[in-house]
Amino acid sequence: MKGIAFVLLTSISVVGQVSGEVKTIVFDRADVEHCRVVTIEGRPMLQTVYGGTSVAVGLPVSTGDRDFRVFVVVRQTGPGKVEVKPKEFSALYSDPAHTRFGFYDKAAEVDKHKVRPVTQESGIAAASSQGDSGLPGVPSTPGPVDDKDRQARAQRMSDEDPNAPTREREEALEEKHSRSLPGSTVTPDELYLGRSTLRQGSFAEGLVYFRKPKGSKLNIGPRNLLFEIDIPVNGIVFRFS
């Protein structure tokens, strides 16, 4: 059974279409004018451009037994404006019934928890001072041995779980907002995609969580996939499957 990860990893085309009363644009890699695989901030993503609006989704990653996390980028390249409403986003799971997962407001959950006080032990330097061992709480630049160990560990994780590299990257982003020096904190509004109005030349990006329905007995493992993701923007559904 195919899934979003399968498309990204193998670059196999899917069928594109515009159908029904609600206009749906299905990602079709054969349509090189509107659809393509791109790299945004180091992530491989599927991108569709239609009517002056660009929507891109990254590799879905399971974050436990309930959620999938997806990096989404919406850009308005044409005239006019578009409304980005993540609460309207949804996804289908790869089970035979294609269970629909709804949007989960991770930012609201994070806002409920107070960020723990910054200490020298938990501080992470801002980008301009990374690797400077002269600053308190800033780890020194890893040596060759550390690099080799980290590379070997990453390779093992990748062999065991193809989503591991993406999972590590997203988890590092989420961790940064609660473990950083003053001035370099990433707020939930910056980390998670929120509701916004985009005008020509502007964009919105961030992590989006999809959670399985309450009472569902589905067991989600690290290798499980999403079958389809729907991103409605201004009455048009951008579908990635």
Q: What is the 3-state secondary structure (H, E, C) of the chain?
A: CCCHHHHHHHCCCCCCCCCCCCCEEECCCCCCCCEEEEEECCEEEEEEEECCEEEEEECCEECCCCEEEEEEEEEECCCCEEEECHHHCEEEECCCCCCEEEEECHHHHHHCCCCCCCCCCCCCCCHHHCCCCCCCCCCCCCCHHHHHHHHHHHHHHHHHCCCHHHHHHHHHHHHHCCCCCCCCCCCHHHHECCCEEEECCEEEEEEEEEECCCCCCCCCCCCCCEEEEEEEECCEEEEEC
Average pLDDT, the chain: 76
Domain ranges of the chain: 4-110+188-240, 116-176
Task: Tell whether the model's pLDDT for residue 135 goes beyond 70.
Answer: no
Question: Is this structure's pTM higher than 0.75?
Answer: no
pLDDT of residue 75: 97
pLDDT of residue 162: 58
The CATH code of domain 4-110+188-240 reads 2.60.40
pLDDT digits (tens, 9 = 90+) for 75-132: 999 999 999 999 999 999 999 999 999 999 999 988 776 454 443 333 322 333 334 3
Task: Tell whether the model's pLDDT for residue 14 goes beyond 70.
Answer: no
